[in-house]
Chain A
Amino acid sequence: MENATILSEGVFATTYGKTANGLVRYSKRYHITSVIDSRLAGQDAGQVLMHKPSGIPIISSVEEAINGHAETLIVGIASDGGVLPENYRPYIRTALGYGMNIVSGLHDFVSDDPEFVKIARRTGSRITDVRKLFKDKKYFFTGNIEKVKAKKIAVLGTDSAIGKRTTAIYLNRAMKAIGKKSVMIGTGQTSWMQGFKYTVVVDAIVNDFVAGALETITYEAWDSERPDYMFIEGQGSVLHPAYPGSFEIIGATRPDAIILQHAPMRKYFDGFPGYEIPPLEKYIKILELLSNRKVIAIALNTENMDESMVKEEKSRLQAKFGIPVFDPLQRLSTVTREIDSYNI
């Protein structure tokens, strides 16, 4: 496993830093040795993100990352439009200069940038643009999805950058912990970076082939692993003005149930303050109509909430919708057993 530092200058532990946040929480492809964000330098990344030490230091320069034996720099920002911020360029330049490899999930391809390519050629650095890996792939929907007998649970959300992937990862892990065979189906660049074997980066694929890609990866996972469960990472949000998602996931992977991720304190779509997030019941109705399946639980993103608010909101939503409401960052054994007991 390559040692990697995550470049997350100015955004770690925010929604724009979700790639970095995800990699600090979970990474099988890279061994994360540090996070670069000078605002928080000197602190522990896990402590900042999860109030739990992770042993991953936050630092402020590429040189410090090299001191921690990092051989790869991962661009850990999920910027609007996948644009590479100007202030990230010096870090990439420096890392390439030292012969470090670069991994980026942005739409702006590092490997197409003449300045970066020139340095990489000189120093022998390898540049991996994750979205580029999927850009030219063509997948066709075949109907093979009907052969998949695992219980497929899609984790969808009321907004983008709300924690769908993290919830899917944690539920997948918790399901394994109760003795069930479970597989994570990744649908974004961060999942690929985190090392999930069955991943397609849907927003890098030509629209005509997205459904085929989702079906292909889901069927492959079934064919190779024969799991009891599959947790499918959602993308965007069904009502999001800029990142509408869920249609292809519902259409192509034909989930047996949906878990809906919701942030009670988020009033507007992330990054789009003019657009109010519609009420939760509207999402549930739409998703159940689209999928002809049930929303079986609500996963709470507890940002800006204290313990008592979380408790109160859980009870309120549980009473209102009659389904489990849980915090995916807490122990998941109870909710997982409950999901397992459903006849879905």
Chain B
Amino acid sequence: MFYYERVNQFDTIAVSVDSVDRRRIKGTIDLDGLKFIMYFDYTQDVDIDYDLAGMIMTMPVINYAYFAKRIKLNFPVSLSFLKLVKEFIRINNIETFINSIVRRRYEFFLKEYLPSDEEITQENAEGRTEVLADISDGDKKKLEVDDRKVIVLSSGGKESLLTFGILKEIGAVVYPVFFNESGAHWKTAKVAYDYFSSKYENVLRVWSNVDRFYSFVNRHLKILDQDEIRRKADSYPVQMFIFPVYIFSVLPYVIKYGIGNIALGDELDDPIYEEPYHGIKHYYGVYDQTNDFNLTLTSFLREYGIHCKVFSAVYPIFGTLVEKILVQRYNDLFRVQRSCHLCHYEGGDVKPCGTCSKCLGVLLFMLNAEADPTEAGYSIEHVKQLEDNVNSASMRLDPDELEYLKAKVFEGRRINSHIEGIHQLPGENSAFSLVPERFRDGVRSIVSKYSTGFYKFVGSEWVKID
């Protein structure tokens, strides 16, 4: 028996669209009879057809494809969408197997459902999820877009804030879109959302109960330790395919306003760490925050008839430099930054927990940027305890970046200048080549003012270039 058969939980996960209104789409996700009603609500009237609604509803389901024999799409799909879903499932299955199960950070999975060493194979990683759907041969969309317009998917974190700041400054018509999940996550984004709503135009929001869907499914996965998943942690038990839900859900706004770009806040994926695990290529659980994903989606959207580019304006730089620019150039935006997923209300304000691995990283970034973390909701105590906490925590930063920050913040030494540099990735002829042409020079010009220069990946290390 294959490992993926051993952890199979569902015969069929079926996705149906129940209704499509001007401001709401409603669908049912049926997991062998367990039904979840999913909603996506829009703060403005939008024009959504059934196939787009179905596409939006499909994305969250991909998170659980590894544990299902088949995904059934009860709405007609184009061949290109079917191909995309199959590829997403193949990749996400590997991510689930390698990064949720094998290289897990928490013991969410019951021990008896963990694979043996011999079971760590490409075949087991990919699983065998079938996708069933009727192919439609409907007309391709022909959407005229304006390439000056850009949606910035805004989470309240430093990357999306900086992206907003830079794009706005260089003259883009920016639409910050906030994804309002029904649960605690919204607290993280709300500070920025409130600030943006009071100060800027074009601020948009999508509300959804998709996070409840994740909790619902997780509660029904017999392979998970139900006590463990209730504990507060900074990793999800299973779900690693989060951003596609956000991106597909904003497409109605893309269509409404003819928006030519969607910017995400993916920071640098250092190729130094692109090592296969047991010979299996994977993305460390963040495929949906990579250039590979953005380019795949751009290609799909063009095929779908929407010439909208999905990109990140900060992909060649580490979080260290992102924070530095945010603090030093867009200080008002820095003050509304909340990166913690465990935020809480305190005296009417949203405060980060200050001790999760995400917060510890952010505090290092802020101190390195010579910012006052209390301006972004942290306490003096958080700063005082930082060194002890960092030394005892399992940090999520790239080892190079962590070493750099520890030396700089705790010892005042600079040990590796490429961390604050701009990185030209393998395959690129110049840095920022994946940023749409219209914005490229502007982004490069602002970022380079704060960086230590340009670096190219030669052999297996970063080498400074002119």
Q: Which residues of A pack against B, CB within 8 Å?
A: 3, 60-64, 66-71, 97-101, 119, 122-126
Query: Which 5 A-B residue pairs are closest in the complex by CB-CB distance?
Result: A69-B427, A63-B295, A99-B433, A61-B299, A63-B299
| Interface contact A66-B426, CB-CB below 8 Å | no
Pair A97/B437 contact, Cβ less than 8 Å: yes
Residues 415 to 438 of chain B near chain A (Cβ within 8 Å): 426-430, 433-434, 436-437
With known contacts A69-B426, A71-B429, A99-B430, A61–B437 Cβ distance under 8 A: no
Closest chain A residue to B440, Cβ basis: A123
* A99 contacts B428, C-beta separation under 8 Å: yes
Contact (Cβ within 8 A) B429 A101: yes
Q: Is the CB of A98 within 8 A of B296?
A: no
Say whether, besides A97-B437, A98-B434, A124 and B429 are in contact (CB < 8 Å). Answer: yes
A67 touches B295 (CB 8 A): yes
Q: A61-B299, A97-B437 are in contact. Are A67 and B429 (CB under 8 A)?
A: no
Pick 16 A–B contacts, CB within 8 A, sort by A.
A3-B427, A60-B299, A61-B299, A61-B302, A63-B295, A64-B296, A66-B295, A71-B429, A98-B433, A98-B434, A99-B428, A100-B429, A119-B437, A123-B430, A123-B437, A125-B429
Evaluate contact between B427 and A66: CB separation under 8 angstroms. yes
**Besides A98-B434, A122-B437, 6 other CB < 8 A contacts?**
A60-B299, A64-B296, A67-B296, A68-B427, A71-B427, A126-B429
Task: Describe B's contact surface by its main secondary structure.
Answer: helix
Closest chain-A Cβ to B1's Cβ sits at a distance in Å of: 29
Chain B residues lying within 8 Å of A124, measured Cβ to Cβ, are 429-430
Residue of A nearest to B87 (CB): A42
Total cross-chain contacts (CB, 8 A) = 49
Cβ of B201 within 8 Å of any chain A Cβ, yes or no, is no
Residue of A nearest to B271 (CB): A69
- The reply on B292 being an interface residue by CB < 8 A is yes
Q: With contacts A99-B433, A119-B437 known, is A63 near B298, CB below 8 A?
A: yes
Query: Inside 8 A of A61's CB, which chain B residues have their CB?
Result: 299, 302-303
Q: Which residues does chain A contribute within 8 Å of B437, judged by CB atoms?
A: 97, 119, 122-123
Give the shortest distance, in Å, between A84 (CB) and chain B (any CB).
20
> Which of the four size classes fits the interface of chain B?
10 to 19
Q: Is the CB of B299 within 8 A of A71?
A: no
By beta carbon, the residue of chain A nearest B290 is A67
B58 to chain A, nearest CB (A): 20
Chain A contacts of B296 at CB under 8 A? 63-64, 67
Indicate if the CB atoms of B295 and A64 lie closer than 8 Å: yes
Residue B451 CB within 8 A of the other chain = no
Q: How long is the Cα–Cα vector from A61 to B292 in the complex, in angstroms?
A: 13
Q: A124 → chain B, closest Cβ, in Å? A: 5
A283 vs B158: C-alpha distance when bound (angstroms): 73
Residues of A within 8 A of B436 (CB): 97
CB-CB nearest in chain A for B432: A99
Q: How many Å from the CB of A9 to the closest CB on chain B?
A: 14
Whether B291 is near chain A, meaning CB under 8 Å from some CB there, is yes
Roughly how many angstroms separate A64 CA and B295 CA in the complex, as a whole number? 7
Contact A71 B440 (CB under 8 A): no
A67-B430 in contact (CB<8A): no
Most buried by A among B427, B430, B436: B427
CB distance from A65 to the nearest CB of B (A): 9
Assembly CA distance A310 to B136 (angstroms): 44
Which residues of A lie under 8 Å from residue B291 when comparing CB positions? 66-67
A97 to chain B, nearest CB (A): 5
- How many Å lie between the Cα of A6 and that of B434 in the bound state? 20
Name which residue of chain B comes closest to A38, CB basis: B303
Q: Distance (Å) between the CB of B275 and the closest chain A CB?
A: 16
Once bound together, how far apart are the Cα atoms of A151 and B432, in whole Å? 52
The complex places the Cα of A60 from the Cα of B299 at a distance, in Å, of 9
A2 and chain B: residue at smallest CB distance: B429
Q: How far is the CB of A38 from chain B (nearest CB, A)?
A: 9
Q: Which residues of A contact B295 (CB under 8 A)?
A: 63-64, 66-67
Q: Which residue of B lies closest to A70 (CB)?
A: B427
Q: Per-residue CB proximity of B93-111 to A under 8 Å, as 1/0? A: 0000000000000000000
A207 CB → nearest B CB, Å: 37
Instruction: Look across to chain A and name the residue whose beta carbon is closest to the beta carbon of B425.
Output: A69
State how many angstroms separate the Cβ of A99 from the closest Cβ of chain B: 4
**A60, A66, A124 — which one has the most chain B CB atoms within 10 A of its CB?**
A66
Cross-chain contact B292 with A67 (CB below 8 angstroms): yes
Contact for B299 among A64, A70, A126, CB less than 8 A: A64
Q: How far does the alpha carbon of A60 sit from the alpha carbon of B433 in the complex, in Å? A: 20
